Every structure is written in C-alpha cells, then in structure tokens.
C-alpha cells in the first residue's frame, strides 16, 4: 500500500523554521496500529492524518508514541496541504477532531485557526516541575499543561530542563512563558512524556497561554514567539471561549510511503 506524505513547516515564513509536521491524507481509516507506526517512523513531534467526510474532514494527530487530543501546528499544516496541493477551493476547512469542530480559514497571506480557549487556574507547583525547570517560576497555573510564568525573556532562554523530572508530571507537559521584548509574550514548551522534549512551535499551548496574557495585558490581540532553536511566531486573537491562531506554512517535501497494512 502506498500513501502520499507531505512534510510542512508550520508557523514559519521559510523552510527550516517553525514546527515540522507530517501530513498523510487517507482514503479511509486503517487500523490505529498502522497510524502509530507511521508516526513513529516519521519521528516528528506530530503526524496528522485526515479522511474526507460529508461535512469536512476527520483529523487525528499522533506523536511518535501516542495519539493526542489537540495539535495546532499539524492542523495548520493539514490545511496548507488541502489549500495548496489537494484543490480545496472554499476559503474555510472544517476539521472534526477529538477536541470538537476546528475551522481553518484563509486570512491574508496566512491561515486563521479557530480553537477552543483554555482557562488556566493557579496551582501549587509540584516538586517535579520546579526540579525539572531548575528555577522557581513567579507563578504556576494549569490547564492541559502546567504554565510556568517567569519575569523576563532572559529567564526563558536560560532554562536548561531536566526532562527526566518533567516526564513524571501529571499533565501533558510544561509551557514556560514570560513577557517578551519584541513580542507580547514568549514561551518554550516541553513534552517529554510524549517523546517530544522541546516542541519547536506549539499551537495548542497558545490556547492556554494567550488567554492568560490577554487578561494580564488587557488586550485581545497578541503576538507571541516560541523561543525554540527553530523558533516561530504565532499571532493570537482571544474571542470569548475561542482563540484564533494565525500563521503561515511552507513546504519541505512531498513523497510516497510504502507500508504493510490494510485500509479499513
């Protein structure tokens, strides 16, 4: 069996920037073991798979070790593939996912994703969080991830995480964030429990951090920068219980993969 595969750099202006995601369009769903094996072989933070349905597309995301409930950059990459390569003519794409209906629209030279907003709550930092980050945050909140708030961008750059400690947390991962110099806020994101020690650019993390910073800064429109080695910029609009994430994507490769397995 042959499947088409695309690798796309999401939240990027040029290749080798942003977060790479693999995108695999499918005619119908195979056994989940095959999806996980393909994601493991790709060895990227996320591989997205989609199947066309009656009212849009069913979309799923896999890390090298597990299926996840929400992934921003691989959704952006999937929309890019549909718009640019697979002839999707409408200005909006509807994705049906574990996190409900997600829509992506063309907006200017990029795309706008409509995602559910999270409302992080203050918590007492667990020992593994402080030990794993190596310094005490000014504030710690939690939603899907722990959010560790620091005073400055320099604090975020200086972090040298102990991933063995962070792997034992009872949340998906950690967002370390602070006010930025050239951006409203900056962050780094760590997900060792998903075999992704540091994610290059994390759309789903901004569904948690953007509402926090919107409340703190008193603005609904924010520009964020993820300070991974690759780096990437995410423009955010907080609209009630939704977060609109805006970004661009660029092609890295297109090819065929040969797998042993049956569809359906």
Q: What are phi and psi of 95, to 5 degrees?
A: -110, 130
Q: What are phi and psi of 167, to 5 degrees?
A: -65, -20
Burial class (CB in 10 A: 0-12, 13-18, 19+), 137: buried
Query: In angstroms, what is the C-alpha Rg of the chain?
Result: 18
How many C-beta atoms lie closer than 10 Å to residue 13's C-beta?
Answer: 15
d(CA 213, CA 209): 6
Catalytic residue positions?
46
260-to-30, 31, 59, 67, 102 alpha-carbon distances in Å: 11, 11, 22, 20, 31
Q: What are phi and psi of 98, to 5 degrees?
A: -60, -25
Structure tokens at 109: 């030279």
């Amino acid at each position: 069996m042959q499947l088409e595969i695309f690798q796309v750099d999401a939240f990027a202006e040029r290749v080798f920037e942003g977060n790479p995601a693999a995108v695999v369009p499918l005619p119908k769903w195979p056994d989940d073991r095959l999806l996980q094996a393909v994601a493991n072989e790709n060895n990227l933070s996320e591989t997205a798979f989609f199947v066309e349905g009656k009212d849009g597309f069913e979309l799923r995301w896999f890390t090298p070790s597990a299926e996840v409930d929400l992934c921003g950059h691989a959704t952006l990459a999937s929309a890019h593939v549909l718009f640019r390569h697979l002839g999707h003519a409408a200005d909006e794409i509807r994705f049906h996912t574990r996190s409900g209906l997600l829509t992506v629209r063309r907006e200017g030279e990029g795309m706008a994703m409509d995602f559910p907003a999270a409302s992080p709550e203050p918590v007492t930092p667990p020992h593994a969080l402080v030990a794993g980050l190596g310094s005490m945050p000014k504030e710690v909140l939690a939603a899907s991830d722990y959010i560790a708030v620091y005073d400055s961008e320099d604090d975020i750059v200086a972090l040298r995480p102990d991933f063995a400690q962070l792997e034992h947390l009872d949340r998906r991962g950690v967002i370390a964030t602070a006010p930025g110099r050239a951006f409203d806020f900056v962050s780094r994101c760590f997900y060792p429990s998903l075999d992704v020690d540091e994610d290059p650019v994390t759309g789903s993390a901004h569904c948690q951090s953007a509402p926090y910073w919107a409340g703190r800064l008193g603005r609904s429109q924010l520009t964020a920068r993820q300070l991974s080695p690759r780096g990437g910029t995410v423009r955010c609009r907080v609209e009630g219980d939704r977060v609109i994430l805006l970004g661009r994507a660029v092609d890295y490769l297109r090819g065929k993969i040969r797998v042993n397995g049956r569809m359906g």
